[in-house]
A and B are shown apart, each in its own frame.
Chain A
Amino acid sequence: MGLLDFFLGQKSSTASIAKERLQILVSHERAERNRPPKPDWLPKLQKELLDVVRRYVAVEQDAITVRMEQDENRDILELNIVLPDPAKNPPAPEPAPLRAQKTSRPRQKR
């Protein structure tokens, strides 16, 4: 037994691989679970923003992403609009792609 341990000692065991995989997975899944649910107005906001942007620029349906994120003391609303390539299109008001506003506000107590 002692001899076997000596030879196997330095090799990383499958148990330690299992432990490492599980630690990563479990912490990830716990973070996912504890994340508060997305506000239900997010899809509507996304749609209306798309409508407004489209009045000025011909953007694709999926050109806008709206994400809600939270850190310790605030909610962050991240808005990302990808404008079409100016080479292929008539001049757009801004060079593309453009990373648009990021707004934040203090977290409201719920």
Chain B
Amino acid sequence: MARIIVVTSGKGGVGKTTTSAAFSMGLAQQGHRTAVIDFDVGLRNLDLIMGCERRVVYDFVNVINDEASINQALIKDKRCENLFILPASQTRDKDALSKEGVGRVLEELSKQFEYIVCDSPAGIERGATLAMYYADDAIVVTNPEVSSVRDSDRMLGILASKSRRAETNQEPIKEYLLLTRYAPKRVKLGEMLSVKDVQEILSLHLLGVIPESPAVLTASNSGQPVILDEKSDAGLAYRDVVRRYLGEEVSYRFVEEEKKGLLGRLFRGG
């Protein structure tokens, strides 16, 4: 039986797809058979971030409508043999996803995968609520910024009340906080909410902190999940996130401002 993980946030542009791509790649690199599904029907983008946009033949909606089999629609990643991508459809039909159809596909995938990562669209519309409905775990991606924190809290409310686990009185979805686009320097200057602040407000288990990093854009430019960039801070931070999710004790990096030597301090001034 697979573990179903939803990557959600409410607010757009905080890093859900970047996280879904990096996290699923990380799980697969650790030897786990992983599928990642794009729930953003109408505005698919995960294929682009994963670099497989030209290999899309069938999509999620085709599978739901029985126009293709699950194995016809899954795209096997060329960098990691354990990773498969199920792209979203470009249809403009808002009702293309049904609760029953999504449930059927997830059940089918559960037979052959260990982890299923659901990349949720922004907002609280159908795609977003269905992405989280069947989840076992939720990664709540949050920026240290007021509107993102507030939206994350709203998502927590929905996770707690409108999921399969909630409706069938099972153990609730495990919720994890992933703080992205974090700038320790600005935190130190009092210009940005700190990890501790956000944790205090949302009272969630911290899965990781991804620093604001130019590597995220360069990774998406070339269709490489940022976790593959082993020289980048963001890539390393995602690596830690995956290990932590899998139960390893990993200390938090990139939370404090980088220590500069005496020379660095002298030349920075002010």
Contact = CB atoms under 8 A, between A and B. Distances in A.
B10 to A, nearest CB: 12
B270 A4 contact: yes
Contact of B187 (A4, A11, A15, A29): A15
For chain B, give the interface size range.
20 to 34
Contacts of B149: 22, 26
Contacts of A52: none
A4 B257 CA distance: 16
B78 interface: no
Contact of B146 (A1, A3, A13, A18): A18
A15 B192 contact: yes
Nearest to A9: B190
A15 B197 contact: yes
Main secondary structure of the interface of A (DSSP, over half): helix
Candidate in A1, A3, A23 with the most chain B CB atoms within 10 angstroms = A1
Contacts of A26: 149-150, 153, 201-202
A48 to B, nearest CB: 32
B201 A22 contact: yes
Given A15-B190, A15-B193, A1 B270 contact: yes
For chain A, give the interface size range.
10 to 19
Contacts of A61: none
A33 B157 CA distance: 7
A6 B270 CA distance: 11
A30 B157 contact: yes
7 contacts: A1-B270, A8-B189, A8-B190, A13-B190, A15-B197, A22-B146, A22-B149
Given A15-B192, A22-B193, 6 more contacts: A1-B265, A8-B190, A18-B197, A19-B200, A21-B146, A22-B149
Interface of B: 145-146, 149-150, 153-154, 157, 161, 187, 189-194, 197, 200-202, 265, 268, 270
Interface of A: 1, 3-4, 8, 11, 13-16, 18-19, 21-23, 25-26, 29-30, 33
Closest 8 CB pairs of A and B: A13-B190, A19-B197, A33-B157, A15-B190, A26-B153, A22-B201, A18-B146, A15-B193
